[in-house]
Structure 1
Amino acid sequence: MSALEPIDADVADVPAGDLLEGGILGRERRALSFGIITVVLLIAFEATAVGTAMPVAARRLDGVSLYAFAFSAYFTTSLFGMVVAGQWADRRGPLGALGVGISGFAAGLVLSGTAMNMWTFIAGRAVQGLGGGLVIVAVYVVMGRAYPARLQPTIMAAFAAGWVVPSVVGPLVAGTVTEQLGWRWVFLGIPVLVVFPLALALPATRRIASGPADPAAPVEPFDRRRIKLALGISTGAGLLQYAGQDLRWLSVLPFLAGAALLGPAVVGPRALLPHGTWRSARGLPSVVLLRGVAAGSFIVAESFVPLMLVTERGLTPTMAGLSLAVGGATWALGSYVQARPRVEAHRERFMVAGMVLVALAILAAPSVLLPAVPVWVVAVAWGVGCFGMGVVITSTSVLLLKLSAPREAGANSAALQISDGLCNVLLLAGGGAGFAALGGGSVAGGSGSHPGAFLVVFLPMGVVALGGVFVAGRVRVR
């Protein structure tokens, strides 16, 4: 039995042959498991490789002042893709969203890799985000349909393990390619990897998890109201991000417009998120909110770690990327721990402890702005934080599927990912505004050291993560 496939409590007495047949690598699910794990590998390699090359790309395209846009553009368009994918999967099955999403993801990489200016580069990231939003929700629906509840923690742990090799190899490969061949080849090389998951995952999805959730029910048309809300949330998030980067008084106008568009989509009576999400109501609303708080605070902080190490401590892009490499292994370890049968009864406590580790990691990272602090402190801190993220993020996915009826799996999965992406965008907008206001663009351009520009990113993210400790204590319905 693979270490990624722990024996669940309710199948511990089943003969080994039956367990293999019924496991994630059993004959029935083997191709599907390999296919969707490969999709995760692709996304993981993109995230680690692109994160390593991004500081160089921003400098070469004279767009360091727009650095935060390169990340938030992905999250902004992915919000729209998530809502579309949720409806697509619930009404017609996840197959179409998965295929179109993977193709769009690759097309965005090509556009960014061939960009001649920063705005074209950002446009490529936006296309990539749209594809990524379709993919992530479709994968969740596939998991909910193809894997019984006893196997869902295991396939989630396998996904986390899929980040290990890219986290270790990705920064090294991306840094070497960036330094020897140029940053463009980091983006243009990844789309080649799309062929394998398309060839493996799509036929398996068609065979096991295609079609609507209820084949006997008539196929419903797309909910136009939700599509309009999705456009509103995506456009509103983009306007808020723009307002955060433009420090002139005129930026108040796009800020107000963005807030007006976001309101009905996230807190209105027919919002895209479960009722009670923003007040952390117990159960599903807190699960959805925790996903956004954890992912938003950690990913935003992580986005600025390579830039901080390159500009403030003089590391090469390769070494800056490698400082985060250990996080892939500890994230997988945290995900593996949550998949153990004995953890289920104490899952809430583990999630609270995980958020404490995340907050400590974020708050410890900027200590390397002091010359006396060795840079390996970031690697240690991020390893600890990633362990906490492995516990928290995977557990939110497991709890979401447990709390969702089959016909609601797509919509609830979309809500989980919307919370993730929206918090990323909003926190990036705030962090990016503070970074720019304190001279972050000139810092990255090589005109001096301003540690405050990084502190204004990391310290607020640490406070947000501490708020997640409270939310984690409310994911169970008492």
Structure 2
Amino acid sequence: MTTASSTSATTSSAATATQTGGDTGGVLGAPYRALTLGIVSVVLLLAFEATAVNTAMPVAARQLDGLGLYAFAFSGYFTSTLFALVVSGQWCDRKGPMGPLLSGIVVFGAGLVVAGTAADMWLFVAGRAIQGLGGGLVIVALYVVVGRAFPERLRPSVFAAFSAAWVLPSILGPAVSGAVTQHLGWRWVFLAVPVLILLPLAVMGPALHRSEREQRRSAAAPRPEFDRRRSGFAAMAALGAGLLQYAGQRLDLLAILPGLAGAGLLLPAVLRLLPAGTLRAARGLPAVILLRGVAAGAFFASEAFIPLMMVTRRGLSPTLAGLTLTSGGLSWALGSWLQGRPGLQRHRETMIRLGFVLTAVAIAGTTLVLVPAVPTWAASVAWAVGGMGMGLAVASISVLMMKLSAPEDAGANSAALQMSDALGNVLLIGLSGVLFAGLGGGSLAAARDSPVPAAAFAVIFLVMTGVALFGALVSGRVRPRS
């Protein structure tokens, strides 16, 4: 199959385990401890940024007079990620994951600085796009590290560790970000996060360097050439997604041209970059890849608008609005831990379907908070249910992707999985932005002088509930034909 990374990105895990001291112990055993801690520290950085941004975004959008571009500030991140994912996959193949990982962290920090110093909303969106470039470089490199360095039996635990890294940011991130936003200003939420870059650089660097050195000694296959055509398709996908989002923000006749151009660029690029049959949910790996995008898009498109709803409709402070999402981060970690239990390993399909159902219930339940008689803490309860569902589904999808991938395709399919994730976020957050603006949510008058119309939030949540239920239906196709 044609993929974002080629065969050399994922030499057999068994061979790597032999090089690192044998397939014994857990993820914190001597052969894997340093890499596990390094990976967790990188995810910790991304998690702190995500929780902080969710809390500060409503205030930032208002002060920059850019509420109409609120969704763009989220989807712009994932748009640039589309391009970075392919570049990172090929970079990992040529030179190993250390280069894209460390470079991605630095670029990510630069994007935070641009966003934190932005004078208007468009510059703020540009900063978020730079962050997306860094995040795209990082996430594929992390998956390549997991595919190379950890045997199959430990991968569920590694993905559970990914989720566990969100626990502390989920607890402290909204409170800290909200306090900083209220007392120092939203800009410091972005300008302070780059300090955390020092942690993953210090922890990950030496361990990864040793792993790459051993990998080069054991590698037998020649390193592939850089595929410029794939990079071109990735650029087409990013540009097409950007044009579609721009067209959605205009909502006038002039939007037709950029909308058609965006679709004309995005569709053929996606068909070349994802495994054959992904868009029609073909059985096995294509359905698995598709479901990752469906899950991420439905959940994060809803999550992006929850703090804004709590601030504009229920009058909560940025701190309390951000804390609404804390329960989701905690339960996500719990769900991911549960899917890694030995007794549940043979129930991947069931856990994926259950995860989508719980996510749909959570998104629909959040809609009830628009009713004044419903207490605001109901949103936290609903999001705890959704986090549990995502922990079960997303981690199971990642494990199943690895299981259905031949050793020479595992890294490439990891890149496709992340690309599906980014596409799901771009398209569904973009759709949410169109719905939000079309129903009056983006008007400056509504933002400042009166509450944002309840319908602007309700329609988004109900549409995303339907998307999650679609994922539950498709989950039966993750099992390949006999």
User: Which TM-score tier does this pair reach, normalised by the shorter chain?
Assistant: over 0.9
1:105-133 CA distances to partner (integer Å, 9 max, x unpaired)?
11100110111111111111000000000
Q: Which residue of 1 aligns with 2:457?
A: 454
Q: Is the 8 A contact 2:77 2:129 kept in 1?
A: yes
**Quick one: percent identity of the two aligned structures?**
60
Alignment of 1:74-473 (within 5 A): 74-209=77-212, 215-267=219-271, 271-442=272-443, 443-473=446-476
Please say if 1:31 is aligned against 2:34.
yes
Q: Distance in 2 between matches of 1:474 and 1:344?
A: 18
Q: CA deviation at 1:45?
A: 0.7
Q: Distance in 1 between matches of 2:284 and 2:100?
A: 28
The two structures, once aligned, show a CA RMSD in angstroms of 1.6
Q: Is the 8 A contact 2:312 2:447 kept in 1?
A: yes
Q: Is the 8 A contact 1:48 1:321 kept in 2?
A: yes
1:78-109 CA distances to partner (integer Å, 9 max, x unpaired)?
01111111111123211111011111111100
Q: Is the 8 A contact 2:147 2:411 kept in 1?
A: no
Q: CA deviation at 1:212?
A: 6.7
Q: Distance in 2 between matches of 1:20 and 1:263?
A: 42
1:386-412 CA distances to partner (integer Å, 9 max, x unpaired)?
000001111111111222233323321
Q: Distance in 2 between matches of 1:161 and 1:281?
A: 32
Q: Secondary structure at the match of 2:279?
A: helix
Q: Distance in 2 between matches of 1:290 and 1:199?
A: 35
Q: Partner amino acid for 1:58?
A: A
Q: CA deviation at 1:256?
A: 0.4
After alignment, is 405-414 or 245-254 more displaced?
405-414
Q: Secondary structure at the match of 2:251?
A: coil
Q: Is the 8 A contact 2:22 2:31 kept in 1?
A: no
Q: Distance in 1 between matches of 2:212 and 2:28?
A: 16
Q: Is the 8 A contact 2:85 2:415 kept in 1?
A: yes
Q: Is the 8 A contact 1:311 1:446 kept in 2?
A: no
Q: Is the 8 A contact 1:90 1:407 kept in 2?
A: no
Q: Partner amino acid for 2:270?
A: V
Q: Distance in 2 between matches of 1:131 and 1:405?
A: 28
Q: Is the 8 A contact 1:93 1:213 kept in 2?
A: no
1:439-467 CA distances to partner (integer Å, 9 max, x unpaired)?
10233333344111112211111101100
Q: Partner amino acid for 2:364?
A: L
Q: Is the 8 A contact 1:76 1:126 kept in 2?
A: yes
Q: Distance in 2 between matches of 1:314 and 1:408?
A: 50
Q: Is the 8 A contact 1:334 1:387 kept in 2?
A: yes
Q: Secondary structure at the match of 1:440?
A: coil
Q: Partner amino acid for 2:469?
A: L
Q: Distance in 2 between matches of 1:374 and 1:58?
A: 26
1:22-59 CA distances to partner (integer Å, 9 max, x unpaired)?
32112222111111101011111110011000000111
Q: Is the 8 A contact 1:307 1:444 kept in 2?
A: no
Q: Partner amino acid for 1:108?
A: G
Q: Is the 8 A contact 1:178 1:184 kept in 2?
A: yes
C-alpha distance 214-90 of structure 1, shift in aligned 2 (>3 A): farther
Following superposition, which runs of at least 4 residues in structure 1 exceed 6 angstroms of deviation?
A: none
Q: Distance in 2 between matches of 1:214 and 1:77?
A: 34
C-alpha distance 302-109 of structure 1, shift in aligned 2 (>3 A): same
Q: Distance in 2 between matches of 1:345 and 1:432?
A: 39
Q: Distance in 1 between matches of 2:430 and 2:141?
A: 27
Q: Partner amino acid for 1:388?
A: G
- Report the number of matched residues: 458
Aligned partner (choices 48, 53, 56) of residue 56 of structure 2: 53
Q: Distance in 2 between matches of 1:424 and 1:364?
A: 21
Q: Distance in 1 between matches of 2:132 and 2:408?
A: 26
Q: Distance in 1 between matches of 2:88 and 2:217?
A: 14
Q: CA deviation at 1:209?
A: 4.0
Q: CA deviation at 1:304?
A: 0.2
Aligned partner (choices 47, 56, 60) of residue 44 of structure 1: 47
Q: Distance in 2 between matches of 1:176 and 1:19?
A: 47
Q: Is the 8 A contact 1:90 1:408 kept in 2?
A: no
Q: Distance in 1 between matches of 2:165 and 2:306?
A: 22
Q: Secondary structure at the match of 2:442?
A: helix
Q: Which residue of 1 aligns with 2:7?
A: none
Q: Distance in 1 between matches of 2:239 and 2:339?
A: 36
Q: Distance in 1 between matches of 2:235 and 2:470?
A: 29
C-alpha distance 78-308 of structure 1, shift in aligned 2 (>3 A): same
Q: Distance in 1 between matches of 2:132 and 2:217?
A: 26
Q: Distance in 1 between matches of 2:196 and 2:150?
A: 25
Q: Distance in 2 between matches of 1:175 and 1:446?
A: 23
Q: CA deviation at 1:137?
A: 0.6
Q: CA deviation at 1:324?
A: 1.1
Structure 1, unmatched stretches of 5+, are: 1-17
Q: Distance in 2 between matches of 1:444 and 1:280?
A: 40
